[in-house]
Chain A
């Protein structure tokens, strides 16, 4: 997702750069004002139609599949309470099964915090805010097993960057065994 976003942005930005360079190279020459105005008007009409006709349906389509309800979120979820405070995460369980819907119930005892979940390669996989007075429910399904890190993604004071916790994501059988051993 992130690399795709970066690539899309870079392509579009290079397009804008190319436009500016093309115009900059042609600025110092003389040309017919009316003719240029005419072609700019045509270009603008096309751009507007493109941005409205393609862009608006696209952005609607992207919101249609509700992003806060992830794919594969079926069946009885496991509820994990995640209480935050300056500067700690307190999870009701630190081991979770892969491929199972999880609902993180995010709360905070003091200021706003951000519950950011990083996978083993330290790629951000999901996040939501923890807000005073509210319980925010973050739905997620872990796709791979491994040691995940919870990191704070909302500035909360001097130890914000050190507000970390770990979640061990294991296969469902191991998870069930460990649960029954407790």
Chain B
């Protein structure tokens, strides 16, 4: 052990044994999916750049696979992080987690079948009525299969959240208590950050998943009996409400790794301060209220709802920057913490989240949205907070959990891999944003010639990102293997 080695702090309260094993398996599965889907994303970008030629139907199938695979893996990774740390405070059922994981994986298999065998290419947002009106490209059966797969994943998450909700209520008495309202409005002792955040996530994601299940079921009915039709505007509202809540919740769950692991490096506990509690209470309502920012160009929407969406989309960015990011700054600054791979990934993750909020807010201004909506600006902002944000935190958790209590220096190769991930990711995101600012539409299988250079540069950055991500997965697996042989 050299001088530069850091002993990855081992907190005695951290769950071990089966809980750790389950969480490690889940995060490794999610990370494997991340890496595989990144390779698919790389292929998509190189097609747009004109480097590779595939038929448009194949492009859209792969785009659907990339989207649904990434969103599913984000949910899984987030849930694994939350579930692991919650085990410190409340009694969760391992059987329920396995039921969640099992149902989730069956859903994944069904979805892959619907895309690769059934030919479904209606995008992960399955916007009604596209799934059943493909213009003759895929059959209704493929759409039904895809929707059933999604429904299974929804059921899986509901199982998981019900157990989390049950455990929170059992331990704290009610969700109002576990989100910290008695401490916020009175002077009761506040629950730990993980408990507060878990409560918010559980509430919003149960509501979000139910909304998602409703539109999925309606779409399935419509596929079986086309005379049963759904109002297209209602369908859009439900779909984006669900999608917005679900993807945000996956970030909220993953950030618990930051709350729990960063203090092991800094020696400064992450506190449920008043402002922290206010932040989560605002987020609880805001994450559900801002989804109309996906509907700015639907002129049938009531204008007041659009204005509320614009203000809400700005306000919901405030806690990320003014509360989470600044808290992290305070905990890190002159703490004497030593940088290693997992700490670097976790901090990068918060950066990605805070950075991604900026183009999101800009696009959340209706007059900007008029000329940015459904351009590459949109994947630009969400790859920022998913690829550089959420996935980095998930990787940080994966590396940390594999190495707990062991000595680890921030070795040269690790620094190089980390740098690759950062540079590749930032370059990739920058190219999306620049493309969007130059009016390049999103979700186009073939780009105009004058747009191809953006995609070509992006492809180079994507290669670098994928290499970095493969290295992260490798460190995760190596850590898991070591821990496995030790026990």
A: residues with CB less than 8 A from B are 1-3, 5-6, 8-9, 12-13, 16-17, 19-20, 23-24, 26-33, 36-37, 40, 43-44, 47-48, 51-52, 55-56, 59-60, 62-63, 65-68, 86-87, 110-112, 114, 116, 118, 122-129, 131-134, 136-138, 151-162
Contact = CB atoms under 8 A, between A and B. Distances in A.
26 contacts: A1-B368, A9-B358, A13-B358, A23-B333, A27-B333, A27-B335, A28-B337, A28-B338, A29-B336, A40-B330, A44-B275, A44-B323, A55-B314, A59-B365, A62-B310, A86-B133, A112-B127, A124-B439, A128-B299, A131-B236, A137-B299, A151-B441, A152-B441, A156-B135, A157-B135, A157-B137
A158 B121 contact: yes
A68 B336 CA distance: 53
Given A6-B437, A59-B365, A52 B371 contact: no
Interface string B206-247: 000000000000000000000000011100100000000000
B188 interface: no
Given A23-B332, A110-B129, A132-B129, A59 B439 contact: no
Interface string B431-471: 00110111101011111101000000000000000000000
Interface in B367-423: 367-375, 377
Given A27-B333, A30-B334, A59-B311, A2 B299 contact: no
A127 B310 CA distance: 18
A138 to B, nearest CB: 7
Given A56-B311, A59-B365, A126 B441 contact: no
A24 B327 CA distance: 14
Contacts of A129: 297-299
Nearest to A60: B311
Contact of B321 (A27, A51, A155, A160): A51
Contact of B56 (A1, A132, A161): A161
Name the residue among A30, A126, A132, A134 with the largest chain B CB count within 10 angstroms.
A132
Interface residues of B, number: 81
B332 A47 contact: no
B135 A87 contact: yes
B327 to A, nearest CB: 7
A89 B129 CA distance: 19
Contact of A30 (B299, B303, B336): B336
B474 interface: no
Contacts of B441: 116, 151-153, 161
B478 interface: no
Interface of B: 56-57, 60, 121-123, 127, 129-130, 133-135, 137, 231-233, 236, 268, 275, 297-300, 303, 307, 310-311, 314-315, 318, 321-323, 325-330, 332-339, 347, 351, 354-355, 358-359, 362-363, 365-375, 377, 433-434, 436-439, 441, 443-448, 450
Contacts of A37: 330
A110 B303 CA distance: 25
Contacts of B369: 67
A133 B128 CA distance: 12
B370 A51 contact: no
Nearest 7 interchain pairs by C-beta: A31-B334, A40-B330, A67-B367, A6-B437, A161-B444, A86-B135, A124-B439
Contacts of B368: 1, 5
Contacts of B325: 16, 19
Q: Report which residue of A8, A86, A131, A151 has the largest number of chain B beta carbons within 10 angstroms of its beta carbon.
A: A131
A124 B275 CA distance: 41
A153 B439 CA distance: 11
Contacts of B130: 111-112, 155-157
Given A44-B326, A124-B375, A151-B441, 16 more contacts: A2-B439, A16-B325, A16-B355, A17-B351, A17-B355, A28-B338, A51-B318, A56-B314, A59-B311, A59-B314, A114-B374, A124-B439, A126-B371, A154-B127, A157-B137, A158-B135
Contacts of B334: 26-27, 29-32, 36
B446 A161 contact: yes
B371 A127 contact: yes
A158 B335 contact: no
Nearest to A135: B300
A112 B433 contact: no
